[in-house]
């Protein structure tokens, strides 16, 4: 490799702004480890699930924050706790089930037992064993169960959604989102009880930030996704807005569906298929809901861990779970509302076919992220370009901009110190 193509031992962001993004941001394992500490484990709230996933006392869900396994559990008093899935004794990830119901957690290795809050309540042979009239072994006299509970996370619940943080000094969840993002969050999670409809899960061989970028990128949907551009669900000429919080970490892409069909916006767009028709027109059976208050789609990215999706009647959370610098698991949780009619529930499920690993739309995203990561690994000394709409960071009333990506990396640089 030539001298100019070598990556410095300490990566340097050598461009004055964030319209150029170095490939090492996606390929450097040391950078990835720093991201986990600074973005997932400190100063941030991360998504863990929906209250509807654990409706009964004792119900639990195993999930992750960053690369650390955690358990979300409903207590007997109906409160929700999140604890780390690592035994305080020898460090085993003791919970293997994804979902279940339990009165307590027991590590199979040495049978240490914890209550639903994570407090240690049982240690086999703590006081030793009696042999020949004498007590032998056992824990030392100064051993206290209160000193050896599971790591407990700070928990925030809003609108039926649960977030948690390893950092007990993190700002409030409401301050973390900021007023603009909080208003869009409350639009979707407006106090109605949520109902769980199902899951999709896939492993995407790409850097986790690429999925955040993908949903901060209104440039690609009307070019990459045949379904969107052909049927008018998301096109460059749709009425739209791009919003951010004051730190530029969170964002919302807001769009109102157009008519679809051929016009000047589809000229030379190879993904537009004028002759495409649906064997089942019910996939486009869209019913306007009062809570939309105008937009037919709002895609929110809450940095670093989750995407909140409303695409016409399909609503879901998309959880980003890093797995090294070049891979992440992507978990979709599809939901509805308790007051939905049976027809609306069926409509939500039908439209969910647009999304997920084999979705009419989302299959494209997984593939381009994989191919992008391959390019980064091949040429780690190079950089990507995010200059559509200029080099500044500002909210817009159109889609022809990469401002949200520039904003995310301005925040990323500040936190990462690069």
**pLDDT at residue 62, rounded to an integer:** 98
What is the pLDDT averaged over residues 91-103? 98
Render pLDDT for 186-218 as a digit per residue (tens, 0 to 9): 999 999 999 999 999 999 999 999 999 999 998
What is the pLDDT averaged over residues 172-197? 98
Neighbours of 287 (CB within 10 A): 11
Q: Which residues pair with 253 in a beta bridge?
A: 242, 299
> What beta strand segments (E) does 154-311 contain?
154-158, 161-165, 194-204, 239-244, 251-256, 297-302, 306-311
CA distance 338 to 350: 18
Say what the alpha-carbon torsion angle 360, 234, 408, 48 is, to the nearest 10 degrees: -50
CB 229 within 8 A of CB 272: yes
Q: Is it the case that residue 127 has pLDDT exceeding 50?
A: yes
Higher per-residue confidence, 293 vs 236:
293
Render pLDDT for 131-146 as a digit per residue (tens, 0 to 9): 988 999 999 999 999 9
**pLDDT at residue 1, rounded to an integer:** 46
**pLDDT at residue 260, rounded to an integer:** 54
Buried-exposed string 109-123: b where 16+ CB fall within 10 A, e elsewhere: eeebbbbbbbbbeeb
Q: Is it the case that residue 369 has pLDDT exceeding 70?
A: yes
Percent of the chain having pLDDT more than 90?
78
**pLDDT at residue 359, rounded to an integer:** 72
Percent of the chain having pLDDT more than 70?
89
CB 266 within 8 A of CB 226: no
**pLDDT at residue 3, rounded to an integer:** 46
DSSP-derived letter for residue 5 is G
> What beta strand segments (E) does 23-67 contain?
46-50, 59-65
Taking the CA atoms of the chain, what radius of gyration do you get in angstroms?
24
How long a stretch of residues is the chain? Answer: 418
CA distance 287 to 276: 22
What the chain holds in terms of domains, given with CATH numbers, is: 46-155 (2.102.10.10), 178-416 (3.90.380.10)
CB 358 within 8 A of CB 367: no
What is the pLDDT averaged over residues 33-44? 98
- Report pTM: 0.92
What is the pLDDT averaged over residues 315-340? 98
CA distance 406 to 392: 8
What mean pLDDT, rounded, does the chain reach? 91
CA distance 145 to 147: 5
Q: What share of the chain is helix, strand, coil (3-state, %, to 5)?
A: 25, 25, 45
Render pLDDT for 257-306 as a digit per residue (tens, 0 to 9): 765 555 555 545 656 666 767 777 777 789 999 999 999 999 999 999 99
**pLDDT at residue 34, rounded to an integer:** 97
């Amino acid at each position: 490799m030539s001298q100019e193509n070598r990556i410095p031992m300490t990566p340097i962001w050598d461009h004055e702004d964030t319209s150029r993004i170095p490939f090492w941001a996606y390929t450097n394992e040391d950078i990835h480890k720093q991201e986990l500490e600074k973005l997932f484990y400190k100063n941030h709230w991360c998504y863990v699930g929906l209250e509807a996933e654990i409706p009964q006392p004792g119900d639990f869900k195993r999930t992750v924050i960053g690369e650390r396994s955690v358990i979300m559990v409903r207590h007997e008093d109906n409160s929700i706790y999140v604890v780390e899935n690592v035994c305080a004794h020898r460090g085993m990830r003791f919970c293997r089930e994804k979902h279940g119901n339990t009165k307590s957690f027991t590590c199979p290795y040495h049978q240490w037992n914890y209550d639903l809050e994570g407090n240690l309540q049982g240690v086999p042979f703590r006081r030793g064993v009696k042999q020949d009239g004498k007590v032998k072994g056992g824990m030392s006299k100064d051993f206290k169960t209160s000193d050896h509970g599971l790591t407990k996370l700070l928990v925030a619940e809003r609108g039926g959604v649960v977030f948690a943080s390893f950092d007990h000094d993190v700002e409030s969840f409401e301050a973390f989102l900021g007023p603009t993002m909080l208003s869009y969050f409350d639009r979707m999670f407006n106090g109605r009880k949520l109902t769980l409809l199902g899951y999709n899960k896939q492993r995407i061989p790409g850097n986790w930030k690429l999925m955040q970028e993908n949903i901060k990128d209104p440039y690609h949907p009307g070019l990459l996704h045949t379904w969107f551009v052909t049927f008018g669900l998301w096109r460059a000429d749709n009425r739209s807005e791009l919003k951010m919080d004051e730190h530029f970490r969170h964002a919302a892409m807001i769009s109102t569906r157009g008519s679809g069909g051929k016009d000047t916006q589809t000229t030379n767009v190879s993904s537009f298929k004028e002759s495409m028709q649906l064997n089942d027109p019910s996939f486009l059976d869209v019913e306007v809901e009062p809570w939309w208050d105008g937009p037919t789609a709002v895609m929110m990215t809450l940095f670093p861990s989750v995407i909140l999706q409303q695409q016409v009647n399909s609503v879901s959370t998309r959880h980003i779970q890093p797995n090294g610098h070049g891979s992440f698991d992507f978990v979709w949780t599809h939901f509805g509302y308790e007051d939905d009619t049976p027809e609306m529930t069926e409509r939500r499920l039908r439209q969910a076919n647009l999304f997920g690993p084999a979705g009419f739309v989302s299959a494209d995203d997984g593939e381009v992220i994989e191919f992008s990561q391959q390019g980064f690994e091949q040429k780690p000394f190079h950089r990507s370009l995010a200059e559509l709409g200029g080099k500044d960071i500002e909210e817009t009333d159109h889609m022809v901009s990469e401002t949200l990506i520039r904003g995310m990396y301005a925040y990323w640089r500040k936190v990462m110190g690069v």
